[in-house]
Chain A
């Protein structure tokens, strides 16, 4: 367990509590994410060194390199970074408010809802870009709301959210499969490429909406996260400690769903990031619940790292979601085995 350190002023009466280990984990992940961001931009048809990438970024040196970095590689890298941050943060939110490490947004239907809406858009020809971003957002938020409403029975409990979410997720997945089977072969192919989670050919039109959403929703999550430390003790204890349980939970659920929906719309439903990043961050920080900031950074490291691996192992480049899935599945199995052993597997 990581012990907190208190910094306290007598006048004005201000006190801040920091856990050095959590801060250290966050810092290491931040540096790692930045390094992977830069390293990722060296990969491509035109081989570049780190110095080429950096000079290209700031518009000094070769103008060709500048164009490649700023218009082709930076948007891809930033989409990966922001999607990873969004998935990681929302995973931490969902796992905390449901008190269940399996209840990440990719398990409870938020990703699946966004995916269904985007595939429907592609199949019916609403096109790419902004169209699918708004569809993904609508789909993700709609499934989040449906889960909340269906799980409502004199308030919501974490367990009901998980069970209802799994049901919604299954329904959305079959709807997506149905749409794919009905779609033209080219549209189906485009959808498949997107459905596994893909960072190839991302442009600024993918980055801007995701960035805007992140700037609004992430501070909202941080603001509500103060309550997460009491929600973690269960609804009744939290309410007894003065937590407005239902408004806080609804706010966190919507903000978390919003982050996932925007990220899915830009990068596809990248598998297992929201599930594993918070669990990894929690274990690194030695806490009893996932820390939001470190989980977000962990998500970014996972997505950016996987995207590099995906492009290094095959010349054409695998979609990033295949690599995160391959890395994430063993982690999920480990979590399940561990939960069964300690008797909390449910």
Chain B
């Protein structure tokens, strides 16, 4: 998969809901084969950006280019063979099993005369194995724990077999152990299969830890982007989140760790 990792580029993007402009004139290059995390305060347009890149939203002007072709003009099925998106907190129909859900990730590769090829079967088997869901394949999705459910959905996106994978807040509503679980899985998908991953994350230290490339957004614009250790400074966190903080190296991963300063906790020195 590494050899044909497509390039993903955003140019002059302008997105609006009715009259309210959310993103205006945004340019962006997603580094292929890396994990990119998009961070920023609530309503900064990070989720809107991801959904526009995934062609779930249509921009007013500008475009998203997958290997140089406009994603909003390509046949949607062709896009789905190269780019997968897992929206925020999807809900499976009552009674659907994990294997049934994961199988539906193969939809963009299927036709009337090819409903279930050997590659469909292999992709689903690998996706279940990669997400450690093989043993739960026959369980109902609505009976799983939050973390298992999220892994089932990620397995569906993995089964889609796209070199580019977009994840909208994949750790929302998960407890700490499951958050780490899901993010470690994302790294596996990137390292083992060379997939390009772009994800929106809420937690800044987690984004620093797991992303190769960080994009900080505020009010529909990119304020800074680059390696987390280069991007995250005390000034930037103040600019983007309006929070004064100290930045020190994470004792476990060495990546920047953001420690906020609040009214009641001004620091010891």
The listed residue (B95, B96, B108, B112) touching A241 by CB distance below 8 A is B108
The answer on a CB contact under 8 Å between B114 and A13 is yes
The answer on a CB contact under 8 Å between A14 and B86 is no
Determine the interface band of chain B, counting residues with CB < 8 A from chain A. 35 or more
Minimal beta-carbon separation of A224 from chain B (angstroms): 12
Q: Does B240 contact A (CB under 8 A)?
A: no
Chain A residue numbers with a CB within 8 Å of B78 are 242
Most buried by B among A6, A242, A287: A242
A252-275 residues with Cβ-Cβ distance < 8 A to B are none
A224-248 residues with Cβ-Cβ distance < 8 A to B are 226, 229-230, 232-234, 236-237, 239-244
For chain A, the count of residues having a C-beta within 8 Å of the partner chain is 31
Q: Does A99 contact B (CB under 8 A)?
A: yes
Most buried by A among B114, B115, B138, B156: B115
Q: Does A1 contact B (CB under 8 A)?
A: yes
Closest to B142 in A: A342
What does DSSP make chain A's interface, helix, strand, loop or mixed?
loop
The answer on a CB contact under 8 Å between B104 and A229 is yes
The answer on a CB contact under 8 Å between A15 and B90 is no
Minimal beta-carbon separation of B25 from chain A (angstroms): 22
The answer on a CB contact under 8 Å between B117 and A236 is no
Cα–Cα distance between A234 and B162 once the two chains are bound (Å) = 20
The answer on a CB contact under 8 Å between A240 and B94 is no
Cα–Cα distance between A236 and B89 once the two chains are bound (Å) = 11
Cα–Cα distance between A99 and B108 once the two chains are bound (Å) = 21
The answer on a CB contact under 8 Å between B87 and A226 is no
B104-149 residues with Cβ-Cβ distance < 8 A to A are 104-105, 107-108, 112-118, 121, 138, 140, 142
Minimal beta-carbon separation of B90 from chain A (angstroms): 5
The listed residue (A4, A239, A342, A344) touching B76 by CB distance below 8 A is A239
The answer on a CB contact under 8 Å between A1 and B100 is yes
Minimal beta-carbon separation of B115 from chain A (angstroms): 4
Task: Give the number of residue pairs across the A-B interface with Cβ within 8 Å.
Answer: 92
The answer on a CB contact under 8 Å between B87 and A17 is no
The listed residue (B93, B95, B121, B140) touching A99 by CB distance below 8 A is B93
Chain B residue numbers with a CB within 8 Å of A230 are 104, 107
Cα–Cα distance between A244 and B80 once the two chains are bound (Å) = 11
The answer on a CB contact under 8 Å between B117 and A13 is yes
The answer on a CB contact under 8 Å between B76 and A244 is yes
Given contacts A232-B93, A288-B95, contact A14 B113 (CB under 8 A): yes
Chain B residue numbers with a CB within 8 Å of A288 are 92-97, 100
Complex interface bits, A5-38 against B, C-beta within 8 A gives 1, otherwise 0: 0101000111111000000000000000000000
Chain B residue numbers with a CB within 8 Å of A8 are 116-118
Q: Does A295 contact B (CB under 8 A)?
A: no
Cα–Cα distance between A4 and B103 once the two chains are bound (Å) = 11
The listed residue (A229, A240, A244) touching B54 by CB distance below 8 A is A240
Chain B residue numbers with a CB within 8 Å of A232 are 93
Q: Does B79 contact A (CB under 8 A)?
A: yes
The answer on a CB contact under 8 Å between B90 and A289 is no
Minimal beta-carbon separation of B137 from chain A (angstroms): 11
Cα–Cα distance between A4 and B118 once the two chains are bound (Å) = 14
The answer on a CB contact under 8 Å between B97 and A241 is no
Minimal beta-carbon separation of A318 from chain B (angstroms): 35
A92-121 residues with Cβ-Cβ distance < 8 A to B are 99
Cα–Cα distance between A33 and B79 once the two chains are bound (Å) = 44
The answer on a CB contact under 8 Å between B17 and A154 is yes
Question: What are 11 pairs between A and B in contact, CB < 8 Å?
Answer: A1-B97, A1-B140, A232-B93, A237-B156, A241-B105, A242-B76, A242-B78, A288-B93, A288-B94, A342-B142, A344-B94
4 smallest CB-CB distances across A and B, nearest first, come from A242-B80, A242-B77, A288-B96, A240-B85
Contacts from A to B (Cβ < 8 Å): 1, 4, 6, 8, 12-17, 99, 154, 226, 229-230, 232-234, 236-237, 239-244, 287-289, 342, 344
Besides A236-B56, A239-B56, A241-B107, 19 more A-B contacts (Cβ < 8 Å) are A6-B116, A6-B121, A8-B117, A8-B118, A14-B114, A15-B115, A16-B113, A17-B115, A226-B112, A236-B90, A237-B86, A237-B156, A240-B56, A240-B80, A241-B80, A241-B105, A242-B76, A242-B81, A288-B94
